[in-house]
């Protein structure tokens, strides 16, 4: 069962039981005690603490969680992840112990056909708190679990609280017995590798004081309402239902390792050992998922807090990949795999993929620039320390790695530990403090030493560029400076790329989301093409130009000209942005605050603060309100006033910018739109032209984006859409109005045809079972069917076919091993009858015998195992290996 299905079944089970499905909260919540959300109940803490009244009596969610306390240990065990999904059900004063136990037991033991997980009840164990015989009694009465499979544990294991005075209560944990091949008998108290915990039920009934019952101290009272908080580990349930040995073999994690194998040329082994390569593969798989999820929720690499954790994760991926043999950037590939595997449950990984990839790849590029050189320095320092018989890497060496090569101290500590050394951290901290003091003392002198700063500073001291573009598109001006290659020059010739500073200019310098104007600067015999205009110090206009003709000299009188078509389109885009912003606030309310924008001729992009996607109806209404404002032909007025007066009038101040005492206000239609803005705008709203919203998406946690065409570009877009619809209508021989219904009907017909085709295909596959059974050979006491599957049997059908063939042998000892060789990969399935297992023959053991011949990986339970290889030419040798194994075990 795939992980996405496990999630869905959990939520469906509890929704059917009357719970409200609550979406996962962001990994970043406003909680001073948490760096990241680390448990399913975190978003419900205000309800448990009594700070807020819950809006529903029961709830269910699958919460994304991150725990990074022991990053260095990742990969050394095979059942822990830094990112994981916690499925939970919650009761706020509604049902209590018996309800929680009943709900959990029903879900885990109901058959998969009935919507459950289908776990064998005989393999379920539970633990209860040592002072909670009531829970044990309920487990026996409701679930029929015998007393010998119920174990009592102390508060350290089976009592939960938040670590501070407040609600708490005893726990009951559910475990699954994976079988003797995974460890010792005796239940969870003996071996938690064999007996794997999958679900923790917390019965919140107590109020704890300063001292916790986890440490044996009694609670100070009872809660007025008894609550339920449970957490089921989705990845652990996937491990069991997918028949694999560890979480790294599950469907949402293993693909990252597969990609790492492809990029590095090394092979991964799924065993529990601590082989260095295998640990590195697991580090990559774990950290790639966690990093993608953090970036999707708005975390960026940084030097402290959440940003530092993300930076550390990303750099550990890069280093692990390099140690495995990767020679090229890996982040784009790893982020792509994570997006493809996880997006079904977390669509933002797909819709926001370009930003996620950009952030991860940027950090990789920055780290790779320093890693090679820094690693050589580190290895030299380690060799020197060891050659003198010492075991401590000096603080000076650690500081040099950090200061010169960008190595975080945590990476140095990790690398030193791998080399069998410790680090003089105290010495490192001392040098870091000294470095900060020096930086404060000489920052000013270093800044003045920067050539570009000196050039611009001299020009800034002469005064500001006068912007004339609000009232004219052509302005006479004087060249007050020419810059080429970071230095002042007196002149430039045709073909040169230079920067031109004018005393006055009508060309808009990029700011406030509006792109710079393009245009020309001309004089007698001189023509410059203006490609970009930027501000220096908020008051100096720097025109980036190409000299197309003649020679331009400092001090020359020129004519600066804006491209009128560009300006017209740019004003349409910027004014359209204001209209869309106003429409958003009118439809969604004042919390839809601008978080960024980009406008250029014919196009606008607007980011705003908002949780959750917009409905189709909301998008339509926003577009309609925007175009009603266009049709209303509101006059666009601009004026300059005091900042305090502008705020009092209701003008919106955006981006958290530092405004001066005097500000420019752009007002459209009186109260409809009023914003502080230095951009250029149309004379009236009708000049914006039609506005067509292209779509709406997420660009990070709590930030949405709408995009739109305006003016002629909007008309052209609608014309293309109309032509496309007309083409479809012609092909379907219906009117455009009837296209949706006709397409829907065709889709339904296609689905029906596919179902019918699937029936015929399934029947054909099962028909081949008889011929396979009759072809069985006897090896010792065992009947063996080992061969390539018939043509047309896909990898997904192998399991069904193998199970059917096995069933035809009834009580006879038999092994069925089928290989699919219709593609470059070699999927396989091995199935055994009970009689064969009585001889000690296990499907998973046979896989280990033959998988080297096909360069394969796989595993499973004694009755059935599956996997895949990459060498089709080795199937014959693999079958011979199975015969040899059976000959020695069942003779």
User: Any binding-site annotation on 760?
Assistant: no
Q: Are residues 481 and 578 in the same domain?
A: no
Q: Are residues 682 and 785 in the same domain?
A: no
Strands 124-129 and 150-153: parallel
Nearest to 288 by CA among 338, 333, 247: 338
User: Any binding-site annotation on 13?
Assistant: no
Q: How far apart are CA 25 and CA 267, in angstroms?
A: 37
Residue 446 inside a domain? The answer is no
Q: Which span out of 310-314, 329-333, 788-792, 869-873 was modeled with the highest average pLDDT?
A: 329-333
- Which has the minimum average pLDDT: 234-248, 433-447, 616-630, 689-703? 433-447
In this prediction, residue 375 carries a pLDDT of 77
Q: How far apart are CA 691 and CA 628, in angstroms?
A: 10
Q: Are residues 599 and 674 in the same domain?
A: yes
Residue 537 inside a domain? The answer is yes
Q: Are residues 711 and 780 in the same domain?
A: no
In this prediction, residue 449 carries a pLDDT of 32
User: What confidence tier does 32 reach under pLDDT thresholds 50, 70, 90?
Assistant: low
611 versus 488: the higher-pLDDT residue is 488
In this prediction, residue 442 carries a pLDDT of 42
Task: Give the other-Cβ count within 10 Å of 635's Cβ.
Answer: 12
Q: Among 205, 222, 247, which residue terminates a domain?
A: 247
Q: DSSP assignment of 553-595, as one string?
A: ETT-EEEEEE-HHHHHHHHHHHHHHHHHHHHHHHHH-TT--EE
365 versus 878: the higher-pLDDT residue is 878
Residue 733 inside a domain? The answer is no
Q: Which span out of 95-104, 203-212, 589-598 was modeled with the highest average pLDDT?
A: 95-104
Q: Are residues 168 and 242 in the same domain?
A: yes
Q: What is the pLDDT of residues 712-767, one digit of tens each?
A: 999 999 899 889 999 999 999 999 899 889 999 999 999 998 888 877 776 777 77
Q: Are residues 191 and 224 in the same domain?
A: yes
Q: Among 187, 214, 247, which residue terminates a domain?
A: 247
Q: What is the pLDDT of residues 680-694, one digit of tens each?
A: 999 999 999 999 999
Residues 6+ apart with CB under 8 A from 465: 501, 502, 503, 504, 505, 539, 540, 541
Residue 405 inside a domain? The answer is no
Residues 6+ apart with CB under 8 A from 870: 824, 825, 826, 854, 855, 856
Residue 408 inside a domain? The answer is no
Q: Which span out of 190-204, 371-385, 480-494, 811-825 was modeled with the highest average pLDDT?
A: 190-204
Q: How far apart are CA 36 and CA 65, in angstroms?
A: 7
Cα 32 to the chain's mean position, in Å?
A: 23
Q: Are residues 242 and 288 in the same domain?
A: no
Nearest to 478 by CA among 461, 492, 493, 465: 465
Q: How far apart are CA 317 and CA 70, in angstroms?
A: 16
Q: Are residues 85 and 224 in the same domain?
A: yes
Q: How far apart are CA 258 and CA 281, in angstroms?
A: 9
Q: How far apart are CA 48 and CA 401, in angstroms?
A: 47
In this prediction, residue 173 carries a pLDDT of 97
Average pLDDT, the chain: 88
Q: Are residues 523 and 594 in the same domain?
A: no
Q: Are residues 476 and 604 in the same domain?
A: no
Q: Are residues 74 and 160 in the same domain?
A: yes
In this prediction, residue 42 carries a pLDDT of 85
User: What confidence tier does 433 reach under pLDDT thresholds 50, 70, 90?
Assistant: confident
User: What confidence tier does 445 reach under pLDDT thresholds 50, 70, 90?
Assistant: very low
Residue 836 inside a domain? The answer is yes
In this prediction, residue 293 carries a pLDDT of 95
Mean pLDDT of 868-880: 90
User: Any binding-site annotation on 853?
Assistant: no
Q: Are residues 470 and 343 in the same domain?
A: no
- Residue spans of alpha helices (H) in 481-546: none
- Domain of 604? 570-719
Distances (CA, A) of 631 to 588, 669, 683: 21, 11, 14
Q: What is the CATH number of the domain that holds 638?
A: 3.30.980.10
Residue 191 inside a domain? The answer is yes
User: Any binding-site annotation on 677?
Assistant: yes
Q: What is the pLDDT of residues 817-850, one digit of tens each?
A: 999 876 678 899 999 999 999 988 999 889 989 9
Q: Which span out of 210-224, 369-383, 400-414 was modeled with the highest average pLDDT?
A: 210-224
Cα 779 to the chain's mean position, in Å?
A: 51
User: What confidence tier does 128 reach under pLDDT thresholds 50, 70, 90?
Assistant: very high
Whether the pLDDT of residue 139 is over 80: the answer is: yes
- Which has the minimum average pLDDT: 25-34, 142-151, 270-279, 391-400? 270-279
- Which has the minimum average pLDDT: 3-17, 265-279, 598-612? 265-279
User: What confidence tier does 452 reach under pLDDT thresholds 50, 70, 90?
Assistant: very low
pLDDT exceeding 70 applies to what percent of the chain? Answer: 92
Number of domains observed in the structure of the chain: 5
Q: Among 335, 370, 405, which residue terminates a domain?
A: 370
In this prediction, residue 409 carries a pLDDT of 76
Q: What is the pLDDT of residues 517-560, one digit of tens each?
A: 999 999 999 999 999 999 887 788 999 999 999 999 999 999 99
Q: DSSP assignment of 842-889, as one string?
A: -HHHHHHHHGGGGT-EEEE-SSEEEEEES-GGGHHHHHHHHHHHHHHH
């Amino acid at each position: 069962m795939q992980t996405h299905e496990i999630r869905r079944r959990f939520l469906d089970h509890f929704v059917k039981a009357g719970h409200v499905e609550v979406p996962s909260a962001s990994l970043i919540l406003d909680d001073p005690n948490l760096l990241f959300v680390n448990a399913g109940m975190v978003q419900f803490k205000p309800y448990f603490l009594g700070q807020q009244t819950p809006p529903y009596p029961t709830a269910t969610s699958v919460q994304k969680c991150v725990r990074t306390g022991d990053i260095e240990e990742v990969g050394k065990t095979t059942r822990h992840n830094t990112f994981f999904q916690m499925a939970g059900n919650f009761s706020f004063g509604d049902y209590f112990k018996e309800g929680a136990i009943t709900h959990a037991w029903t879900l885990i033991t109901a058959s998969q056909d009935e919507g459950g997980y289908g776990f064998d009840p005989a393999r379920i164990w539970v633990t209860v708190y040592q002072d909670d015989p009531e829970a044990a009694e309920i487990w026996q009465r409701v679930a029929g679990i015998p007393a010998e499979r119920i174990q009592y544990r102390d508060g350290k294991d089976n009592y939960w609280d938040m670590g501070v005075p407040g609600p708490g209560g005893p726990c009951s944990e559910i475990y699954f017995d994976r079988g003797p091949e995974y460890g010792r008998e005796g239940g969870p108290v003996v071996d938690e590798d064999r007996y794997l915990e999958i679900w923790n039920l917390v019965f919140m009934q107590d109020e704890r004081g300063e001292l916790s019952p986890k440490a044996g101290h009694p609670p100070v009272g009872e809660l007025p309402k008894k609550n339920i908080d449970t957490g089921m580990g989705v990845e652990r349930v996937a491990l069991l239902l997918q028949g694999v040995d560890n979480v790294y073999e599950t469907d949402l994690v293993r693909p990252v390792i597969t990609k790492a194998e492809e990029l590095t040329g090394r092979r991964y082994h799924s065993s529990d050992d601590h082989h260095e390569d295998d640990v590195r593969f697991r580090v990559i798989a774990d950290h790639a998922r966690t990093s993608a999820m953090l970036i999707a929720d708005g975390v960026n690499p940084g030097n402290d807090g959440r940003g530092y954790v993300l930076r550390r994760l990303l750099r550990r991926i890069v280093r692990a990949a390099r140690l495995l043999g990767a020679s090229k950037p890996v982040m784009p590939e790893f982020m792509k795999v994570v997006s493809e595997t996880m997006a079904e449950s977390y669509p933002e990984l797909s819709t926001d993929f370009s930003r996620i990839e950009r952030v991860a790849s940027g950090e990789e590029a920055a780290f790779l620039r320093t890693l090679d050189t820094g690693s050589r320095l580190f290895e030299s320092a380690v060799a020197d320390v060891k050659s003198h018989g010492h075991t401590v890497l000096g603080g000076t060496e650690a500081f040099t790695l950090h200061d010169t090569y960008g190595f975080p101290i945590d990476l140095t500590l990790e690398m030193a530990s791998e080399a069998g050394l410790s680090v003089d951290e105290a010495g490192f901290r001392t040098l870091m403090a000294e470095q900060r003091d020096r930086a404060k003392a000489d920052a000013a002198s270093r800044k003045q030493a920067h050539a570009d700063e000196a050039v611009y500073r001299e020009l800034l001291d002469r005064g500001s560029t006068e912007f004339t573009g609000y009232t004219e598109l052509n302005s006479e001006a004087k060249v007050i400076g020419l810059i080429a290659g970071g230095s002042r020059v007196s002149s430039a010739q045709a073909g040169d790329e230079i920067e031109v500073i004018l005393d006055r200019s009508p060309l808009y310098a990029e700011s406030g989301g509006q792109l710079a104007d393009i245009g020309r600067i001309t004089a007698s015999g001189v023509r410059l093409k203006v490609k970009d205009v930027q501000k220096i110090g908020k008051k100096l206009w720097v025109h980036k130009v190409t000299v197309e003709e003649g020679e331009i000299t400092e001090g020359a009188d020129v004519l600066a000209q804006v491209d009128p078509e560009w300006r017209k389109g740019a004003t349409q885009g910027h004014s359209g942005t204001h209209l869309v912003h106003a429409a958003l606030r009118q439809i969604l309310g004042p919390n839809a605050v601008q978080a960024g924008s980009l406008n250029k001729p014919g196009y606008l992009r607007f980011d705003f603060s908002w949780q959750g996607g917009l409905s189709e109806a909301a998008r339509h209404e926003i577009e309609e309100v925007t175009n009603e404002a266009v049709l209303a032909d509101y006059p666009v007025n601009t004026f300059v006033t005091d900042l305090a007066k502008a705020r009092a009038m209701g003008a919106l101040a955006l981006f958290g910018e530092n405004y001066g005492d005097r500000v420019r206000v752009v007002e459209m239609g009186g109260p409809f739109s009023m914003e502080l803005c230095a951009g250029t705008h149309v004379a009236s709203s009708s000049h914006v032209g039609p506005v067509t919203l292209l779509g709406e998406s997420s660009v990070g946690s709590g930030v949405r984006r709408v995009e739109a065409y305006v003016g002629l570009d909007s008309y052209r877009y609608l014309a293309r859409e109309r032509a496309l619809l007309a083409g479809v209508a012609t092909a379907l021989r219906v009117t455009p109005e009837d296209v949706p219904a006709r397409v829907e009907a065709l889709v339904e017909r296609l689905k029906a045809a596919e179902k019918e085709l699937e029936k015929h295909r399934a029947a054909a596959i099962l028909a081949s079972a008889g011929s396979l059974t009759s072809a069985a050979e006897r090896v010792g006491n065992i009947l063996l069917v080992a061969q390539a599957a018939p043509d047309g049997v896909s990898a997904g059908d192998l399991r069904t076919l193998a199970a059917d063939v096995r069933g035809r042998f009834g009580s006879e000892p038999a092994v069925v091993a089928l290989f699919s060789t219709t593609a470059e990969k070699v999927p396989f399935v091995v199935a055994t009858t009970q009689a064969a297992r009585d001889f000690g023959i296990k499907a998973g053991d046979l896989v280990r015998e033959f998988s080297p011949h096909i360069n394969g990986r796989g595993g499973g339970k004694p009755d059935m195992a599956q996997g895949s290889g990459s060498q089709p030419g080795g199937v014959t040798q693999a079958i011979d290996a199975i015969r040899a194994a059976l000959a020695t075990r069942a003779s």
